[in-house]
Every structure is written in C-alpha cells, then in structure tokens.
Structure 1
Amino acid sequence: MNYMPLAAGAVWSVLGELQTILAVVFGLGMVIFFHELGHFAVAKWCNVHVERFSIGIGPIIWSHQRGETEYALSVLPLGGYVKMLGQDDMDPNQMTSSEIAENPRSYSSKTVPQRMAIISAGVLMNVATGFLFFAIGYWNGVLEPAPVVGGVRAGFPAWEAGLRAGDRVTAVNDEPIRSFVDLQEAILLSSGDLKINVDRGGKALPNPIVLTPVKASPGRSIGVIPAVTTEIGQIDDPVRIADAGMAIEKASEAFLPGDRIVGLQPQGEPDADGKQIPEQPVRLIADLRRVLATYADREMVYLVERKSADGKPTVVRIRVPRQPVRKLGFWMAMGPIRAIQSNSPAAQAGLKVGDTIRAVDGLKPGEDIDPLSLPVYFGRKGGQTVTVMYSRATSGGTVEGQCELVPNADLPGWMESPDSSTSPLTIPSIGLGYQVQNYIAKILPGSEVEKLGGLSQLTKITKIELLHREPGTGKPDAWGNAETPVELPLAAGENATAEEAEPNWAWAFDQLQRAPGRKLVLHFEDGKTTGTRTLQELELEDDWFLWVRGFNPEIWENERVLLRAQSLPEALTLGLATTRKVAFSIYRSLRKMVGREVDMESLSGPVGIAKIAYKVAERGFVELLVFLGILSINLAILNFLPIPILDGGHMVFLLWEGITRRKPSITVINWAHAAGMVFLLSLLVFVMWIDFFVSGN
C-alpha cells in the first residue's frame, strides 16, 4: 500500500489547522493591539512618557527597548496595557503623587481634557477599527446565515402564528432583516409584540405576522431555527453520512461529501388521478422533509448533483427504500391538546387548548387507532371532511363536543418531530399539537409485549434504554457511538411544571425509530410494582412509514446569503450601519442581563471567544474579519463601563476632577481599584466556569 497520499493528507490537514489557529491568534491580538495603540498614540501626542507598551498581561515573555519605551509580549493574552508615568493600575498611588505630577511628561501632570483624550483613545480606536473591519468585510462579501426559517418548534409563538419552514423573514417591526443573525437579535433584544414580514414561496404575505416572544434560554424566543440546504458538507468520515440500520444505508449507492440533492422522484403506482408523480425539486431540508413526508410510503429516487473527476457537475440517481415504523406492540393513551395554530382548521372548528380528542371519524384513539398515527390519518384526509369528538373541562364539569374540519391537502403527517420530551406532537394539516400520555391504553394481541407479560392497561413507562444487541460490532447510529447505552427518561424532574409532569410519549417514540440496531429496555411501574422488559426485535408496520430515512442531521450545509457592497460608499455605509447596530445590540443585551431578561450563561469567556473565532476562521478570512469587528465594538463598550481599573472607571474619576477641580483622595482611589479588581477577577472566574462547565468549551 502507498502511504504517501495519506501522509500528505495528514500534513496538509495539520498545516490547515495551524494556519487557522495562527489567523485567530493574530486577529485577536490585533484587536488588543489597536486598542492599546490608541492610548499610546494620543499619550505620545500629549507628550506623556510611555514606559511600557504590552500586548497581554502578567509576566513578560519577550520585550524590546526602543527609545524611552519598552515594547513587550506578556504571558496571558487576555488584554494589554500602556504604562505611563503617573498612571499605573497596579499602583494607583501614582495618580495622586505630587512628586510625579511635577514632572511635565507625567500623565498626572496633564490637563483633564488631555487625560480624557488619552483614556478614551483606546475605545475610539476599537470603534474605528471595528467599522473598518465591517466595511472591508462587506466590500469583499460576507456569507451569513440566510433569514430563512428552517424549522418551527411546536407550541412556540412562531408555530402558533403560522410561520412555516421555508419562510423568508424580510423585516421585524419595520426594520429590514438581512440575515438570520439579524432575526435572532431582533427577537432577543425586543420588548413587546413583534410584527414580522414574511415571503412565502417567493411572494410576500399580504399581512405581517404579529406574535409575542416567550422567555426561553438565553432570552426571548419565537421558536425558529435557521435553514439548512440539501448539500452534504465536506465531513471527515463519510461513514457518518448514513445512520446505521436506516434506509439511507441501504441505498443503491453511497452518498458522498459534497453531494447536493436537487430533486426527488417518488416511485411506485401512479397517483389518484392516474398520473405518474413528477420529480419534486428540493433545495432546503424543509423541502426534502415535506416531499418525503408526503410520499413516505414510496421508494424514492434521489437526484444528486455530484462533481465528476473533471470538476463538472453530473446528476446521479440514487434509489432509497422506504423506512417502516417500528411498532412496540402497545398503544399509549391519548392526552390533551397543548397548542393550536391561529386561523388553522382546528381553530376554525372551535377546538381549544386543554381539549382531549375522543374519536376521529368514529375511531377512538388508544382503542381503535394509535394516537401516534393521528398526524398520518389527518394528512391522508387532506381536502376531506373529518368528524372529531372531544371532551372539554369546564367549571361545571367535563362536557363532550363534536366538530367537523377539513385538513389542508398540502401538509402531510409527521412532518414535524417533537424536539424535546415536553414538546407536543403536531398534526400539521389541521394546525394542532397534542400530548400522548406515557401509560399504556392497549396491548396489541400477538405482540412480543403480550408474550413477555408484566405490562397491562394503565402501566406507566418511566424510561426507555436503547442498547446495542452485540456490543463491539455496531456502526454509528443517530446517537453517535452505537456502543454507548442511551436513556430516554419519561419521568418528571423535581422542578417540573404541570405540563412537564407527564412528558410526551411521542418524543421517545420518535427517538427510538432512529436507532433500529438497538434493543429496547422498558422501565415501568403500575402503582404496585416496578420492573423492566426487554424487546430484542421490533416488528415493522405494514402501512406506516417515516419521513426520516437515516441521514445524519449534522451533515448539511447551512443556507447562506452573500452580503456584498457594490461600491466603496455602500461598503462604508454598511460598515457604519453595522457598527451602530452592534453597539446598540450590546447596550440592549447588557440592559436585559441586568433585568434578568437574558441568561448570564449566554456570556463567553476567553476560551469561548477563541473557540468561536476558530470556527469563524474556518469559514474564511472575511468572516473572521467581521467577527473581529464585532469583538472590537464589544471591547470598546465593555471597556468604557464605569468600572474602576477599566477606561470607563478612569473617565469617572476625571469627570469628578473636572467638576470639583480636585483629584479624588488616595483612599477613594485605592478602595475603588480594589473593588474593581475583585469584580473583574470574579467575572473572569464566572465566564471561565461558563466556558468549561456550561458551554462545554
């Protein structure tokens, strides 16, 4: 075997990582350098003796004396400093020393306006360089996440208001939205209702969508995620493209990094009109999800655009079988409605949150039909009238009701999977989300569960374990390492709300569908005893199929939009607008943190910042430049907060001196510097704790 290509590939990989690391170190160093350069330049202009110019703090690892100034690199890259005669944060006594003040080149001998200019120069330099970073970035073109909805969390305001995957947000409260980052900031930093303008299918909706964000981590949220494309990224291990045991693994040929799915061709019998189903174009995962959910019961040919050896794109047809649902041998009990979309068929029929569906066209959930299959049932009834029986709790007791509704024909069932153990299961075609209880309503005759015994009606499932059947032989599945046991808890936590007290069984059911190579261990209780039952093999449904066919959800490239100025004035205008927007966003973020409207855990320390910078640098130099612009504005604003030791604290003392015509006493300065040092060290410890123990950095 020729190992030279492998060795060369490893060398290039290491060199690429080293180049990225050096770019990050250089970029972060430049942000600090420009800040200190501002202090240094104005100090020199004011004829102040600068003793040391240091990038980094702590012990010096390199220095060079040039003229009267020592230029140094210090061991901790957490900042920098310009040490001037008469101004030393580590020795605040210099600020009030009359002996030093007699030296005409000392900092303390200068007028208040001169000292204000020196102190504010670092902040102004960061604002200026941040503006230039933005302008240069937009001149070259910046790729940012597109303001396109990739998914909507069931029960959240966006879902209830009717936002859909694939919608493009164009404005929030009349402010233009250029990227998903703009959208996130507009939501996070807002107050009150949001008026959202949306393009759907290339056309603007006639009226804006009005909704009220809810409190979530790290702040206000409407429950949307960014869009991803159908292009497979350049991942290191192609084995991770397909999850073990899923339909994609059984495709006619393997999917490869760089492949882009451009269409789907449903196979099988003609449709109800006797016509062959045409090719369905797809560009986003939202498109892929909709088509696969609509034709889940059909084998599918994926039309894949792939670059050939000569670099030209070719279209490859890859056949993928259906993905049958794994059945457990029992049905769970129907739970209440948890969410309803406005203006949906469910809302128009008079259904309300808290109602419980008792029958659908005479079929009772839990007795005649699996509650989990209701999304599929309604999806197949698109355009037809469905009769729904329901119960409703009132002050006078429980009442029964009946209504008729017509499901939307263009929204198939099980297109939206619960994303947490408390998320409702949605019926997209009628705009309703409901809970499936985690206790058994019916044991299916002849099932493995019936043969094992021990489980019966009203038995509560408290946890599911997914275990590999033959440890040591498993390929990676949806859970990553197939050898590691996976637990799906279905019991409420200590601080659970009323809704969380009974987690949604639909979430666990959806999760276990994605790991067909694992056996199930059911943990249960029936009010008297607790126990477990192990299901080695699960039977497959005959007429119920998943839209998920086994792609690893982490392989897809994000949908991005190129923001590029067409002229130098436009680049400068965009740079100025972005500087203003970032500064205002930081101010609002700080205000909301003080008001506990944004979680403190959203902060990042040195490790978190370096990690973000590395990820950004991997995407390209321009993206790193824009990130450094954001970091520069952050440094400018945070450094000008009225905290002793920081520039803002020095400015407070100078304002006091300018107003009272006398310097603060040495006692006040010493106490203020001590308090400032304690605060900054505490903040550093806190953000480092977030980096290592909260964010996983």
Structure 2
Amino acid sequence: MEILLVILYAVGALVGFGAVIAIHEFGHFIIAKWADVKVFRFAIGFGPVLLRQRWGETEYALCALPFGGYVWMLGQEDGPEGDTKPATDVPIDPRSFLAKSGWWRMWIMLGGVLANLISSALLLLALAFWGMPLVPPVIGDVVPKVVGADGAAVTSPAAILGLRQGDRILAMNGERVRSFDDLHIGTLFHSGDPVQLEIERSGQRLVLPAAGSATVPLVYDRQKGGGTLGIVPADGSRVFTVDGELPAGGPSYGERILAVAGQPVVGLTGQQITARLMPFLGRDVTLTVARDGSPPRETTIRYAGADSRDGDSAVAGFPVRVRQVLPDSRCAGILFPGDLITAVDGSPVAGSYALTCRLRASLDAERDIVLKLRRGDEERTETVRGSWISGARILGLVLEEITTGHIPFLPEGLGGRPSGLTGTGVKSGDVLLAMEPQTGGFAITWGQGSIHRVPIDQALATALAARERPHLLSRIGRAVTGQVPLPPAALDRIRLGTVRVVTAPAAGVLPLTDDAGSPVDVSLDPAVAKVIPLLNPGDRVVALVPTADGFALEVVRDLTGIQRRLVPVAPVGTSISFRTETVPYQLSGPGEAFVMVGDAAQVMIVKTLLMIPRFFRPADQGGVDATKTLSGPVGIFRSLWIQLQFLGVESYLRLLAFIGLNLVLVNLLPIPITDGGQLMFLAVEQATGRPVVGWLRNLAMIAGLVLVIGLMAFTVGLDILRWTGLL
C-alpha cells in the first residue's frame, strides 16, 4: 500500500509539472490558431515522442523528457536567410508565422506567459477565497548563533531582538507578513540592512527594536546562503511520526493533540506541546486526540520523547555534567563547568535529555528548581531559576553526558530503575574508554585505573574541542585532524582510550602501541603536538573535560581489567513528533484576496528578477549563495511531491501557481531560445525593418542553448546533491 501511495504522489507531481508546461504551450497554441497560423505539433516535453494523436492538421504529442514543451508552427523552419537573399524574394505561405504582422507575432510569443499569468492568478484567487494554505509566521524556536560568511559564529538578530517561542510576526520593515515565506523572501532581500519587526506576544503588539534602541541588522547565514533572522517556524499540533512502543488505540499520524494530562493545548505550537509532554518522559500520560472532523478521544501512552532514542542515555545511566554556564543565565556564579547534576527537585536523573525534561515543568511555571550537585568530592544543593535566553525559558546551561572518561558515580536509570551501565558491570570509579551507539544499545569499553587531570590553556582547549570529537585520538584510530590515516591493518587495533603513549613525539609523529604491544605511529597536527609533552609514557587520554578554571585533559594510568560489552537499552515508550504545517489564511475582506495575488506575482516575477544580481555579490553586500537557494526541475518535482504527500492538495496547487508565475519570468528573460529572446529578435526586426541575419540569429540561438543547458545541468546537479544529502 505504501509503495502504491509513493507512486501516486510521484505521478501527481509529474502531472502537475506537466500541467504548468501544457498551460504555457496552450497559450502559444490558442493565439496562433486565433491568428490563423498553421500548427504542425503541440508537444509536452522534449525528445522522443511517447504518445501522439492527430486531430485536424495538428499532432498532439507527449515526449520523454518532461522539462518543457513546444508548439511547432509553419514558418519556424522556413524562414528567410537574411544574409543570402532578401525576404521579399522568398514566397511565404499566408498561414506561416512569418507572414503575420509584428503585432500578431508578438502576441503569439506572449501567449505562453499570459496563459501562465492568468491561470496562476485565477488559481491563487480561488485558493485565497477557499483559504490560502500558509505556514503561519509564528516562531517555533530562536537560533542563538548562526554561521556567518567567514565561518565564525554570529549572534542571530532574533536573539538580539529578544524574540521568543510563540511570537507572531505581523510586519517586517513596514511590509505586512502573512506567512513564513514572506519572512524568508524579506530576509534574503534585506541582508545586512537594519530590521524592524512588529510582533504579537500574548495578545500585545510590540515593535522591536523599541524606539530609541540600537538598530539590529540582518546577518548572512552561510548554511542558508542569504540573510536570516535566526528563527525556526512553529510546528503544528498534528502528529507527524509515532515510534517506539505502539499501543493499541494510541495516537496516529494526522491526529491533533487537544490536551495533555487533562490540560488543553489547543492553539499551542508543536514545540510547546512537546514541552508539555517532556515532564512525562518514561511515565504514563493521557492524551486527548482527534482527527479533523472526528470526535475527540482519550488514549494513554508512556512518553519516550520526540524521537524513540531520546531517552536511551537515561536508560543507560550516563551521568550529566555542566560544560558551560551562559553569561545571561541566573545560574552564573552558582553552578560552574564540571559540576555533576545528580538530581532535580529530589528525583535522581541521568542523561541530558531526561534532565532537560525534568526541568521543563518548573521552568514553564517559573518555579524555583532544587539541584543536587557533585563538585569534586563535595555534594551540594543549589536553588536556581530559569531565564529568557534565546527565545525560551531555560536555565542557560550547556550540558554533556559522560560517555568517555572517569565515572565518579552511577545514577539511577530512567524511572528509578537500575541503569544499563550498572547491569553491564560498570562501577563507580571505573573509566569509560569508548562508547558507540548501536542498534539496541551502546557498545562500551571500560576498565580501572588512576585518573589524573592535566590543565590546559583556553587556546589549546578550543583547538582540541573544534575537532570532530574533543579527544586526541578519534574512534577510527587516527590523529584528531587525521593528516595521515593509519594503515588499514592498524584500524582494528586502535580505539579511543586503548592506545598508549610510548615516548615523546619526534618530528610530529606520535609513537604508540596497541594492547598487543605492536607499534603504531600517528602523524600529529600542531594542536595535538602541544599536548604530548604534558603526558607520560603509558598515559591514555580519555576525555577533554570542563573545570571551574577552564579545561583539562583526563588521563588514565595503570589501566587494568579492560572489558567491552553492549549496554542494552529497551524502548522507553512511545515517541511523538510534529512538523511544520499549513493553515488556511483568513481574509480580512474580499479585496485582500486580490492583494495576495498581486503580492505573489510581485515576489515570483519582480523580486525574483531583482534577486539575480545578488547571486554575484559578496555576502557582506547582501549577496545570495546560488548553491543554497536555486532549484531546478528535479527540485521542483520533489517539492510538488512533498507538498502533495504531507501538506495537502491546497498546498500542492499553490506551488503549481507559483511555478506558473516563475515561468512567466523565465520565459521573458532575453535569452535567444526563450520567448523573451524571440521577442528581442522581433523588436530588432521592427526597429530595423528587416530580420536579424541568419548567421547572427543561429549564433545567438546556440549561445542561448549552451547557457540554458549549462544552467539546467547546474540546478539539476544541485537538486540531486540535496536529494542525496551530499549538499
């Protein structure tokens, strides 16, 4: 059944793409017929003909490559060669395209774009009155940092402005915002410019930044390829995935969650509903759910997080350590890097996700939170409160799980049950040498030995932490930067934490031995080479750990009793996730429908045209990265597929209308093989009184064909790389 649905959605996407092309070609065709031009063929696609049918004098064909189409008219193959003999010497059939006046030929050339423009406008108008499917401009999450053009982390405008989860953006720089698409287009066009937002928060309208405050410019986001606010759209309340334990009568795909434990959640975003569910991690919770148009019902599940593996680290029992305390946190001066959090409000906790879940209810209720800590050999109890940081109420702590290094204590597993580490035989004081997530649990290597911490400076800690993993040796047995991979035969013998330093490095090479005593030399980069003089022969570096004063290398000496086993992790319960969804837009009046159609045409035609020069500008001048923003036929086909499968027919039709408007622009560009190029030739002919000479026209056509094929290959390549996850 699922395969049939996939085929159905794929066919639907292909039919939609072909329909937009058919409408364009029909525009040429109908005006050509109106002008009494003889049409040999009306074709959808290019290449070999798959299906053909003749009605009257015209053959209607479906071709193999659905990336365009054409109308073959009399006169397009029998034109005069302007460089060999005058046009007046060539007899022209009165029904030839070339026999028609300049005005008729212009209208025939414009027929395709007019058909796309009219059909798209009518479709959008109908959708506007029906309820235009839009992603509401509601903030789901604030991204505190974005990657700038130079690769450095930059504070996002949203974080500076103080935007929060659930804020609805009403206007940006004076332009009305109806959807998240409006925000996306606006940020691309105003990258580097100061931004002013009008928002709605808890029923109140606010303007950010406030009057008299410093301006906040939009920043370039290298990952998105253009300007950004640093926000994520809100998820809807409709269930997208259900995984893990699947109880009979549990929530299913497409149902909406109306209440959590008897508390209504109607009107909340998916992120906010997830926050209401988080305190129930590993416990039973009753949900009220309903499918659109059906009566509500109640069901009980054991909540396992947004992903079925969210609670795995809590079941395994990995201790949680504070890696960083954010400057804006109320915990600053109370908690310090290196503190171990053992309990929240009296409940033992393991795993960073489980700890976050335990905090959630108190954070949302703005209550005091009692944390039990271990700081070195001292046990402490501290009372803290949350703060609004990066758009959410949080403690402002960066947490990490101890998956390698010294295990000072073993917390209870989820729900007060013995942890997986305890069941495997790990004891307090043991050293975890390696951890590998696997299906059904975690493969761990551990042993016993004396622990030593070697303090290092901030610069070196930053250099080491910037590696793929903050360890001297990665799990595949090469230096952190891996300048020279180890021989294949050595890979099976080298694992993080099982390699010993033999002597000090010479000429950038670290001599090592594995547990069998066989030598293995690893090339070092400068950051790693700086660390080696701090170590003794036989040391095993197992972790880079935060301390109250900075960072230290955690080193184990005299290691014995090395074991490797799988820590089994049973399913915690049922995981539920949400995704962005569209909502029918409510018109303020009939006139707004026409305004929305005009805005869509302006964005897809005028603003897209104005976007082209930005592809050639540097990032600091409002440039846009074409590799992140352009899409070709494959990408369009995939978008249609996704719209039809996940967002519904209305969203699918809206995208078809946008594709039609985009075809208006593409076909009006003055490229010789497009309608715009033909109009350019016609304009020259009308201005000079004679056609463009044949050799020049042919040269221009070849150049245009090369340009279009090159652009097509570029965009299709980008589409394929994105689809395969390589870009």
Bucket of the pairwise TM-score, normalised by the shorter protein:
0.5 to 0.7
Paired residue secondary structure (1:146) = coil
Paired residue secondary structure (2:575) = coil
Q: What is the RMSD computed on CA atoms of the aligned residues? A: 4.9
1:313 and 2:296 equivalent? yes
Question: Match of 1:40, as an amino acid?
Answer: F
Question: Match of 1:609, as an amino acid?
Answer: I
Q: CA deviation at 1:562?
A: 1.0
Whole-angstrom CA distance in 1 between matches of 2:101 and 2:159? 60
Partner residue in 2 for 1:184: 184
Q: CA deviation at 1:633?
A: 0.9
Whole-angstrom CA distance in 2 between matches of 1:539 and 1:78? 50
Determine which structure has more spread, i.e. the larger CA radius of gyration: 2
Question: Match of 2:232, as an amino acid?
Answer: I
Partner residue in 2 for 1:216: 222
1:65-214 aligned within 5 A: 65-88=54-77, 98=87, 100=90, 102-156=92-146, 157=156, 158-192=158-192, 193-205=194-206, 207-208=208-209, 210=216, 212-214=218-220
Q: CA deviation at 1:679?
A: 2.1
Q: Deviations over 1:203-259 (max 9, x none)?
A: 3235458452332333233332222234324xxxxxx62336xxxx6x897434454
Question: Match of 1:579, as an amino acid?
Answer: A
Partner residue in 2 for 1:243: 244
Question: Match of 2:567, as an amino acid?
Answer: E
Q: Deviations over 1:315-353 (max 9, x none)?
A: 34556599685387887987667x76xxx556xx9xxxx
Whole-angstrom CA distance in 1 between matches of 2:602 and 2:463? 41
Partner residue in 2 for 1:365: 338
- Aligned with residue 238 of structure 2, among 228, 231, 241: 231
Q: Deviations over 1:535-583 (max 9, x none)?
A: 532899xxxxxxx975143xx3544321255776543343233222322
Partner residue in 2 for 1:285: 270
Partner residue in 2 for 1:326: 314
Question: Match of 2:76, as an amino acid?
Answer: Q
Q: Is the 8 A contact 2:667 2:676 kept in 1?
A: yes
Identity %: 25
Q: Deviations over 1:461-495 (max 9, x none)?
A: 7x844344699xxxxxxxxxxxxxxxxxxxxxxxx
Whole-angstrom CA distance in 2 between matches of 1:499 and 1:585? 43
Q: Which moved more, 1:558-567 or 1:218-227?
A: 558-567
Q: Deviations over 1:17-37 (max 9, x none)?
A: 676556544433332222122
Whole-angstrom CA distance in 1 between matches of 2:121 and 2:74? 32
Partner residue in 2 for 1:639: 667
- Aligned with residue 681 of structure 2, among 643, 653, 656: 653
- Aligned with residue 575 of structure 1, among 597, 605, 617: 597
Q: Is the 8 A contact 1:54 1:72 kept in 2?
A: yes
Q: CA deviation at 1:195?
A: 2.0
Partner residue in 2 for 1:591: 613
Q: Is the 8 A contact 1:86 1:94 kept in 2?
A: no
Q: Is the 8 A contact 2:319 2:401 kept in 1?
A: no
Q: CA deviation at 1:148?
A: 1.5
1:429 and 2:394 equivalent? yes
Distance 1:679 1:307, change over 3 A: closer
Whole-angstrom CA distance in 1 between matches of 2:290 and 2:369? 44
Q: Is the 8 A contact 2:323 2:338 kept in 1?
A: no
Q: CA deviation at 1:186?
A: 2.1
Q: Is the 8 A contact 2:409 2:429 kept in 1?
A: no
TM-score (norm 1): 0.66
Q: CA deviation at 1:406?
A: 10
Question: Match of 2:230, as an amino acid?
Answer: G
Distance 1:549 1:453, change over 3 A: closer
Whole-angstrom CA distance in 1 between matches of 2:303 and 2:56? 73
Distance 1:84 1:551, change over 3 A: same
Distance 1:524 1:670, change over 3 A: farther
Whole-angstrom CA distance in 2 between matches of 1:565 and 1:60? 46
In structure 1, the gaps of 5 or more residues are 1-9, 234-239, 266-277, 350-356, 387-404, 417-425, 472-495, 509-520, 541-547
Question: Match of 2:314, as an amino acid?
Answer: R
Q: CA deviation at 1:14?
A: 7.8
- Aligned with residue 635 of structure 2, among 608, 613, 618: 608
Q: Deviations over 1:503-549 (max 9, x none)?
A: 689xx9xxxxxxxxxxxx98447783589974532899xxxxxxx97
Whole-angstrom CA distance in 1 between matches of 2:159 and 2:705? 47
Partner residue in 2 for 1:622: 650
Q: CA deviation at 1:160?
A: 4.6
Whole-angstrom CA distance in 2 between matches of 1:151 and 1:455? 39
Whole-angstrom CA distance in 1 between matches of 2:56 and 2:351? 81
Distance 1:226 1:376, change over 3 A: closer
Paired residue secondary structure (2:62) = strand
Whole-angstrom CA distance in 2 between matches of 1:327 and 1:214? 41
Paired residue secondary structure (1:194) = coil
Whole-angstrom CA distance in 1 between matches of 2:101 and 2:115? 21
Q: Is the 8 A contact 2:177 2:183 kept in 1?
A: yes
Q: Is the 8 A contact 1:303 1:316 kept in 2?
A: yes
Q: Is the 8 A contact 1:171 1:198 kept in 2?
A: yes
Q: Deviations over 1:145-173 (max 9, x none)?
A: 22222223342413454322222222221
Partner residue in 1 for 2:585: 563
Partner residue in 1 for 2:438: 466
Question: Match of 1:223, as an amino acid?
Answer: G
Distance 1:579 1:464, change over 3 A: same
Whole-angstrom CA distance in 2 between matches of 1:22 and 1:469? 40
Q: CA deviation at 1:629?
A: 0.9
1:686-697 aligned within 5 A: 686-696=714-724
Q: Is the 8 A contact 1:145 1:559 kept in 2?
A: yes
- Aligned with residue 255 of structure 1, among 240, 251, 255: 251
Question: Match of 2:394, as an amino acid?
Answer: S
Q: CA deviation at 1:628?
A: 1.5
- Aligned with residue 302 of structure 1, among 286, 291, 295: 286
Q: Which moved more, 1:190-199 or 1:207-216?
A: 207-216
Distance 1:82 1:539, change over 3 A: closer
Whole-angstrom CA distance in 1 between matches of 2:499 and 2:392? 30
Partner residue in 2 for 1:398: none
Distance 1:539 1:445, change over 3 A: farther
Partner residue in 2 for 1:551: 575
Partner residue in 2 for 1:664: 692
- Aligned with residue 32 of structure 2, among 43, 56, 75: 43
Question: Match of 2:163, as an amino acid?
Answer: L
In structure 2, the gaps of 5 or more residues are 147-155, 211-215, 306-310, 343-349, 371-381, 411-420, 444-461, 475-493, 502-511, 516-561, 618-622
Whole-angstrom CA distance in 1 between matches of 2:612 and 2:463? 29
